[in-house]
Amino acid sequence: MFRKISAKSQIFENVRNNHEIVYNNFVKFAESLSFNQGITKKKSGKATSYARYLIRLVIFYEEIFENKIIKLDTYTALHQLEEVERLPDFKEYNQSEGRFPSAALGCFKAYIVAEHMNQEEITDSELNRNLNEWAAVNSKYLLIREGEDLVKGPKKRATPVKSKAGMSYPRNIAESIEAKRKSEYKCEIDLLHETFINSTDNNPYVEAHHLVPMAAQGYFENTIDFADNIVTLCPNCHRKIHYALPKEKAEMLEFLYANREKVYSRYRIEVDKKMLMNFYGIIKADSNSL
Ligand SMILES: [Zn+2]
Ligand SMILES: [Zn+2]
């Protein structure tokens, strides 16, 4: 089943042509990533390799599982390619190809999440705005609402709803409030980060951020919208975790994840540090030690 497949072979060309738009977008994405992360000085080489290995994984999936991948830029396709990665022979193949296949899959994970990031970020800012408005109206009742409706264990994810930005997963405001309460309205990167007093509820102003980003909700069957997955950050750290250079983002994630990694199994969310980094577009340097 696993074998060398030349990028000039007929089967390769056929499959690439089937997914041409995704293929081209993925090359561009991988170029921007490797450029950002200083993986490569010359722009195109590695990105093209990633994209080619992605196509090879599609070929293997379709051959081995006798099933066609119709739309490549979906979480369904990502899960299908992960099935290939789980096959016993994959390891040897991966080794023999300088670990490009697994690096390509990590990069593809980042790509799919990035595709969903835009709409989810708009929904996130809405959440933080709503949270504030909600706090203004309801601060008196906060105590009554405490513990109400909160996710305590594995729960099936919600159905995406139409929002201004397109389809996105709804967030339960009570989970974010619970997260802020738990952190005592402090920035979880550094408790000493000072903000200001929020005039709506007289608490220090902090923002809610889903550590496993809501853009990755489609990857998981169970919801990731629970307080244990929500970190509270000062506005500066919040912008930073979204927009900083990969190295700085990675440091923040490393720190935040260390405090939380044990909670995810309680909600049957299978995630590890490498996957989390991939979700934020960070492809580990070790995928580079080829
Ligand atoms: Zn955020
Ligand atoms: Zn901070």
Task: Confirm if 55 and 23 have CB atoms less than 8 A apart.
Answer: yes
Residue 120 CA to ligand 2 centre (angstroms): 22
Task: Confirm if 233 and 207 have CB atoms less than 8 A apart.
Answer: yes
Residue 187 CA to ligand 2 centre (angstroms): 5
Residue 43 predicted with pLDDT over 80: no
pLDDT digits (tens, 9 = 90+) for 121-147: 777 777 777 777 766 566 544 444 555
pLDDT digits (tens, 9 = 90+) for 15-42: 999 999 999 999 999 998 876 665 555 5
Nearest-angstrom CA–CA distance, 106 and 257: 18
Residue 112 predicted with pLDDT over 80: yes
pLDDT digits (tens, 9 = 90+) for 215-251: 999 999 999 999 999 999 999 999 999 999 999 999 9
pLDDT digits (tens, 9 = 90+) for 155-202: 999 998 887 767 888 888 899 999 999 999 999 999 999 999 998 889
Residue 16 CA to ligand 1 centre (angstroms): 34
Residue 230 CA to ligand 2 centre (angstroms): 14
Task: Confirm if 206 and 180 have CB atoms less than 8 A apart.
Answer: yes
pLDDT digits (tens, 9 = 90+) for 48-104: 999 999 999 999 999 999 999 999 999 999 999 999 999 999 999 999 999 999 999
The ligand placed nearest to the CA atom of residue 190 is 2
